[in-house]
Amino acid sequence: MSRRKRYIENLTAEQKQYLLEGYKNGRSHDFRLRCHCILLSAQGKSVPELKALFEISHLTVYNWFNRWELEGIEGLKVRSGRGRKRKLDIENEEHVKAVQRSLKRENRNLNQLKLDLESSLDFEISKVTIRRFLKKLDANTNDFQPV
């Protein structure tokens, strides 16, 4: 018994236009690939053909199809929250206060600042991360001056 082949069918002219626009001018490479995949499926390309063309698994193709059917063009966009989270985040009040407290105690020696932050926050931090955070902190709070 063979399974029913799955395609994206019955795209409206407006949907085709959105997908074509996303394929040509989309911000991320992933979004452009997803738009292209949906367009090719609407033209009759099968899942195995799409899998080979884009070098992805068939489950990924089905996930893209499901997201298209449930959410439309918004479902194909790259969602936030991907990637590694920041160790020190300028949005996190606890991080900002910990850095400010450590700077009051030790603002000349980066090694001492690093040790102080690691003990107060209970995780390891590199000097590069601390420098990057201090630049952002300085850019965001012009009135903050270390003692």
CB atoms within 10 A of CB 144: 12
Determine the Cα angle at 11 with ends 35 and 33, to 5°. Answer: 10
DSSP string for residues in 45-72:
--HHHHHHHHT--HHHHHHHHHHHHHHT
CA distance 55 to 57: 7
Tens-digit pLDDT profile for residues 91-124: 899 999 999 998 888 878 899 999 999 999 999 9
pTM assigned to the model? 0.63
For 66-97, write each residue's pLDDT tens digit: 999 999 999 999 888 888 888 999 889 999 99
What whole-number distance in Å separates Cα of residue 62 and Cα of residue 82?
Answer: 20
Q: Above 80 in pLDDT, residue 19?
A: yes
> What is the per-residue pLDDT for 21?
96
d(CA 104, CA 112): 12
SS3 (DSSP) at 146:
coil
State what percent of residues in the chain have pLDDT above 90: 68
How many CB atoms within 10 Å of residue 53? 14
Percent of the chain at pLDDT exceeding 70? 94
Q: What are the residue ranges spanned by the domains of the chain?
A: 13-76, 93-140
